[in-house]
Chains A and B, each alone.
Chain A
Amino acid sequence: MTAFVLASGLGLVSLSALFVIWGALHDVVARRRRRRREAIVRLLTTVLFGDELAADRATRLLMRERRPSVVRALQELAVDLRGHALGRTRHLVDVLGIRTHIAAMARSRRRSPRIRAAELVSLVPDEATSSELLRDDDALVRALTVEALGASRLARRRGVIHELLCDPAQVVRATTQDTLIRTGQGFEEIASALADERTCGAALTVVSHIPDPNVVALALRHIDSPSPRRRALVAQALGNDVSADVSRPLATLMADEDARVREAAIRSAGVAGRGELSGALGHALSDRAWTVRHAAGEALSRFGPLGAMVLYGHLDDPDPYARDMAQRFVDLIEEGGGGWGRTVHVGFAPLAAT
């Protein structure tokens, strides 16, 4: 028994030694791998952005590397490039013979190769591979494909954006919205999504972030929506239109029962420079919700002398809250205006119900 205990003790000591030695070796291997990966990324960067001669030399060096290592590095780089140097990247993919490799990865049963393929799908002009990835069971694969393809390639296929905005996975819907906002493309698809009750909220979110006056008319159809969130998005979208006369809808939304809607409308009035609404903005300084009062002060301070006049006028307001807010922004104007560039994105929701 004693011998058995001693042997077990020795076993534990050996295990401990193995833990320390293995750890030290692991440190060395990890360091080497990292250096190798960095070297491949440097070569890829030279190929994509260097002059012809250097790119040619780097390509030859890359051809000596293991293909999976190159694919992995290319995948990391491709994500950050977001479409830049696409021509050279595609050429590199052809030279290294990776295109078929990507298509094979897209059909893999394992999840990680499909994820890799989704990130590299923009390098494959073949529509079949991307369609396959857009129909994948895994939400992350679908979302990555959306991001890699970008709004322009998605918009070429009728109905795809609409379908993606209806996707059951939140990550796919959010990626599609983000892609549309970043690129500002896919106008027709967004219009069709706005008309559908299922996708209306998601499409309104996109519209409210796109600085394009053409989409404002589409958003205005939802000004009477029963959902305060949608009305707030409409109000936000109105801030993107500086040309058309949106003062009347903005004034309507500034009198909305929901504080978030009022705040969004006031912010839009400030962003669009709607001087004709300065009177209504002055009244908003007495609003019950702090966020609305703050937004009104901020909007007025953007209007220059006209807004300053309104703010000065409210320094004698009988409402102490209006007086206080006016005083704050007058102080900021007199100090040189620091601090009002910041935007409150969402209102103080609990106050909305009061």
Chain B
Amino acid sequence: MSGFASWLFNAAGVAVAVTVVIAALSQLTLVVSAVVELAHMRSRDRHRLWRRILGSQMAPRVTVLVPAHNEAVTIADSVAGVLALAYPNLEVVVVDDGSTDGTLDELITTFGLVAVHPIYRRHLETAEVEAIYRSSSEPDLIVVRKRNGGKADALNCALDVASGELVCAIDADTLVTHDCLQQMVTPFFGDEGIVAVGGTVRLVNEAVVTSGVVARVTAPRRLLAGVQAVEYTRAFLVGRLGWNRLGGNLLISGAFGLFRRDRLLDIGGYEANTVGEDMELIVRLRRHAVDNGREAKVHFVPDPIAWTEAPESLRVLSRQRNRWHRGLCDVLVRHRRMIFNRRYGMAGTLGMPYYLVVEALAPVVEFVGLVLLGIGLWTGQVGPSVLAIVALAHLLAMAVTLAVLWVDDVGFRSYPGVLSRLRLVGYVVVDQLIYRPMTLAWRLWGLKMFLEGRGEWGDMTRKGLGAKDRDPQLV
């Protein structure tokens, strides 16, 4: 019995090392891909000509979709911020999704709204629309009041009402750069096969925000925000930019993404019965395109264009990660036909299998392995050579994360200054040794909830951007 236990604990250690190495090597591959893509994009997409043309009358019409539910405190500022974006051909559709806190009254007062004929061409099924409002002072603003149906339903309603050829979904609590739309529209302008463009979302925790503009960014001092800064950098640089080059990009952040409206209508808009609607939408777009013999490229803009606040409490963070994992599992199950299916190109051959193996299944093996390894260490039944293998695997993973930060520093100088870099190095260690096992537990919890068929979102408490002039809000 003791021999078997010893063998089990040692095998668990090796399993942990193998999963960590697999994750690290796949990330390393994506880092290399990201570097190649970055070099290519620098010369292609960052030219001033794009911005000049996209600042002229030739710019395609973009509709920004703003779903709002009980956001009376911040809605006026959010909408004013979107209306002030530097883009010449802009329309803003705000959908009040059955708010009960006076969100609509706030909009009516601020923008002088008046009810108009609630007639529009309905492409998508949504909860009942009660009224449509227009503003005399802001002719580019349309406000729709509808019964509560959830975020996806509100976005679908906004999609129906929108008139732009491109639509941009944006979270009300996301801070965007002034010229973000010009940056995001650029790829559409250069390639007519592109159906969706996503941008880098960075953390705004502890950054200096002046009048809605991120003035100075440093690596956060608080540990939880700090490790998330490392995690976001890795996720966007590796998880998005790396996949961009390989053509297997399957995810655009729900906080900020730009899409061709006709293609979204073709696939029936956002899926209401999922908690991972952002990834589900992209996967469905790609799947639908292949099934119908069309092209559907998904592009990623690496320059930071949107800023969001990371949760700084373990309770909120755990719920967020739990939800993300449930969303991932849901997408993998819904679109299981795409996995290892060459018909779907890189998305089916590499993208979906990567998410299945590295993101969905490996955490289960790693977590179980870590628990057994812990017990083995406690009882003294783990050999030194196994421990050394585990340590080496973790060192490799840390080195890869450090390489990611280096590439980010060369490309974007996201966190300049010696102190910021020193902090980041510290966070790399904390990320690998403490934070990663914690996220594994949250993921497993999410997997359990998914298997039980529980699909709640959970509350997301934030401090608010520019915390001095805003109240805490629930979104």
A contacts, CB < 8 Å to B: 1-2, 4-5, 8-9, 11-12, 15-16, 19-20, 22-24, 26-27, 30, 79, 111-112, 115, 139-140, 143-144, 147, 169-171, 174-175, 177-178, 181, 205, 209, 288-291, 294, 321, 324, 328, 332, 339, 342-351, 353-354
Contacts and interface: CB of A to CB of B under 8 A. Distances in A.
B114 A144 contact: no
Interface of B: 43-44, 47-50, 52-53, 56-58, 61, 89, 91, 114, 116-117, 119-121, 134, 136-137, 139-140, 142, 160-161, 163, 189-190, 192, 384-385, 388, 391-392, 395, 398-399, 402, 405-406, 409-410, 413, 416-418, 421-422, 425, 428
Sorted from nearest, which 4 A-B pairs have the closest CB atoms? A349-B163, A174-B58, A290-B116, A350-B120
B48 A79 contact: yes
Contacts of A349: 163
Contacts of B398: 12
B114 A171 contact: no
A80 to B, nearest CB: 9
B117 A321 contact: yes
Contacts of B405: 19
Given A27-B416, A171-B189, 10 more contacts: A1-B385, A4-B392, A9-B395, A12-B398, A12-B402, A26-B413, A140-B190, A174-B53, A339-B137, A343-B139
B49 A350 contact: no
B49 A147 contact: yes
Contacts of A22: 406
B417 A174 contact: no
B229 to A, nearest CB: 15
A212 to B, nearest CB: 16
B139 A344 contact: yes
Contacts of B385: 1
Given A19-B402, A19-B421, A350-B163, A178 B139 contact: no
Contacts of A27: 413, 416-417
B53 A171 contact: yes
B50 A171 contact: yes
23 contacts: A1-B384, A5-B392, A5-B395, A8-B395, A12-B398, A20-B422, A22-B406, A24-B418, A26-B410, A27-B413, A147-B49, A171-B49, A171-B189, A174-B56, A175-B58, A178-B52, A178-B56, A178-B57, A181-B56, A339-B136, A346-B89, A350-B163, A351-B117
Given A20-B421, A321-B116, A353 B121 contact: yes
Contacts of A9: 391, 395
A15 B421 CA distance: 12
Looking at B89, B117, B405, B410, which has the most chain A CB atoms within 10 Å of its CB?
Answer: B117
Contact of A178 (B44, B53, B388): B53
Contacts of B189: 170-171, 174
B61 A290 contact: no
A348 B161 CA distance: 9
A175 B53 contact: yes
A330 B43 CA distance: 53
B134 A115 contact: no
A135 to B, nearest CB: 18
A161 to B, nearest CB: 15
A20 B50 contact: no
Nearest to A331: B136
Nearest to B54: A174
B120 A354 contact: yes
Contacts of B49: 140, 143-144, 147, 171, 175
B114 A324 contact: yes
Contacts of A79: 48
A139 B139 contact: no
Nearest to A208: B57
A145 B56 CA distance: 18
Nearest to A340: B136
A12 B429 CA distance: 10
A130 B333 CA distance: 55
Contacts of B425: 16, 19-20
B392 A294 contact: no
Contacts of B413: 26-27, 30
A345 B392 CA distance: 62
A115 B46 CA distance: 12
B51 to A, nearest CB: 11
B41 to A, nearest CB: 12
B388 A350 contact: no
A348 B163 contact: yes
A4 B52 CA distance: 56
A20 B116 contact: no
B134 A290 contact: yes
B190 A139 contact: yes
A321 B410 CA distance: 58
A5 B140 contact: no
Contacts of A348: 142, 163
Contacts of A170: 189-190, 192
B136 A328 contact: yes
A167 B44 CA distance: 19
B404 to A, nearest CB: 11
Given A1-B385, A288-B119, A354-B120, A294 B134 contact: yes
Nearest to B420: A23
A24 B160 CA distance: 51
A2 B53 contact: no
B114 A345 contact: no
A220 B117 CA distance: 32
Contacts of A209: 57
Contact of A112 (B43, B119, B120, B428): B43
Contacts of A26: 409-410, 413
Nearest to B56: A178
B392 A346 contact: no
B47 A20 contact: no
Contacts of A339: 136-137
A350 B58 contact: no
Nearest to B396: A8
A350 B385 CA distance: 69
Contacts of A2: 384, 388
A350 B121 contact: yes
A2 B56 CA distance: 64
A77 to B, nearest CB: 12
